Amino acid sequence: MGLKTTFKRIRDNYVINQARGARLPEFSETEICRYRVLFSGRVQKVGFRLEVCELAVRLGLTGFCKNLENGDVLAEFQGTEEKINFLISFMESLKRIRITNKVMEKLEVDEGLTGFVKG
């Protein structure tokens, strides 16, 4: 196994442990909504998508998160607005990630959407 692979595995384990250990607040049950969010900044090669996916699953959100060729990350989240906002705020608070811009677009709820996918 190469050095690059070893460091990636160490980073991924750190990210997974951080996401699984994050303290989640109590959320009220509110209306389901769906957002497309474009994140810019230092959001690739830092475990961003992995952490988003781990947290989204813990929060019961559905959707996806994928890297774009220009270095941005595109995500769609479906769930309560409170949980979506918590996930985004949590990601913005991380030191290894630097979100310099985010563009949010509200979408129609997709009743058939299940699971959360890291693309």
- Give yes or no for residue 1 having a pLDDT over 80: no
Catalytic residue among 49, 85, 96, 98: 49
Class of domain 3-23+30-109: alpha beta
Model confidence pLDDT, tens digit, residues 45-89: 999 999 999 999 999 999 999 999 999 999 999 999 999 999 999
Nearest to 79 by CA among 55, 63, 103, 102: 63
> Does 23 qualify as catalytic in the annotation?
no
67 is catalytic: yes
Three-state secondary-structure class, residue 50:
helix
pTM for the full model? Answer: 0.89
